[in-house]
Amino acid sequence: MKTWFVTGASSGLGLGMVRKLVGRGDRVIASARSDSPLDELETTAGDRLQVVRFDVTDTAAMRREVNAAFAANGRIDVVVSNAGYGLFGAAEEVSDAQIERQIATNLVGSIQLIRAVVPHLRAQGGGRILQVSSEGGQVAYPNFSLYHATKWGVEGFVEAIAQEVAPFGIDFVIAQPGPTATNFGAGLDRAEPMEIYDSTPAGDVRRAIADGSFEIKGDAGRTVDAMIAAADVAKPDRRVALGSAAFENIEKALSERLGVLRAQRDVAYSADRPYAGRR
């Protein structure tokens, strides 16, 4: 039996994960901002589920709940950083307030959660952090520029801190789901559209989402199963793509970037300082 701490657990993949973990007999501390389906689940799960309330943008409250969770449970094996949402609109369309909230939730909230749990994981001799990112942490769609900025940003943060804390037995898994049948679309924060973008790629994506032609291949239950399985592996890969769309899109993007990079080898090396002795 493992003990998990899961943020963003009131809906979508987070709620699905909590249900599966409790169902298999694990203990879960699950966070939500307000009343949610977790409350009903808590009444039937007994001591296998503890619901805590905080918004990841409130760093002080989050730290208090993290500290209390570790104090009450002794050891937490896996921390799942899942809280987040999508901001939809061309970069020119979104408001300053929307940008600030998106970054505060998806990026800063994830960073501060990880910073809050690392001292506890280090003190207990190790543990695992599962950061829920997206295929959008490696690829990009028009109309999701700020969402991508947060996902690319948190993946860079994880790459660095994973090296810092590896000597303490702390490791990371970055989950990268593709478009998945959850309530993600219903939770989108949408910018006021500008007519000038109607005949651009941003307009194409807006229409595809509105008319349902934007293909969603991912199954929520299977995605959750794969995330749990990745967190259960003794020595997991740093990243795990989830869904055929995620695999194909990430593979294409990485292959294209690698091809461009390799073609620039001579230019790259030409920017080095002269070798010692060559004046």
Q: Which residues are catalytic?
A: 133, 147, 151
Amino acid, single-letter form, for residue 56: V
